[in-house]
Amino acid sequence: DAGITQSPRYKITETGRQVTLMCHQTWSHSYMFWYRQDLGHGLRLIYYSAAADITDKGEVPDGYVVSRSKTENFPLTLESATRSQTSVYFCASSDGTAGPYEQYFGPGTRLTVT
């Protein structure tokens, strides 16, 4: 089915381990985004990408790495997971950024770091 998917939907990992969250969209949208959602903070932007091989930091990028070798994929890697990275992670995509372009969000990945 067309749309934006995330995997895994749930993940439990230990402190210090590397973990990668996957995001895939089938619309060929040029822009992709990673947000995290924590109680009391709402959604905060981690990284975004304007096109393949173009990425940039958002509000809270520390501890995260992204890549975008193909337009449709935008994986997010936690290089050495910490308990403070326990959160729900949402990927989104958009056909543009100027003005009215809406963002389409995936279902989220709930990550727990023990």
Partner 1 sequence: DAKTTQPNSMESNEEEPVHLPCNHSTISGTDYIHWYRQLPSQGPEYVIHGLTSNVNNRMASLAIAEDRKSSTLILHRATLRDAAVYYCILKNSGGSNYKLTFGKGTLLTVNP
Near partner 1 by CB under 8 A: residue from 64, 90, 93, 113: 90
Instruction: Give the residue among 82, 86, 88, 85 at the shortest CA–CA distance from 105.
Output: 88
Q: Is 104 exposed, middle or buried (0-12, 13-18, 19+ CB in 10 A)?
A: middle
Q: Does 66 bind partner 1 (CB under 8 A)?
A: no
Residue 54 CB: number of other CB atoms within 10 A? 11
* Residue 30 binds partner 1, judged by CB under 8 A: no
92 binds partner 1 (CB under 8 A): yes
Would you call the peptide bond into 107 cis, given omega within 30 degrees of 0 as the criterion?
Answer: no
Give the residue, chosen from 45, 61, 77, 112, that forms a contact with partner 1 under the rule CB under 8 A: 45
Chain residues binding partner 1 by CB under 8 A are: 31, 33, 42-43, 45, 48, 50, 58-59, 90, 92, 97-100, 102-108
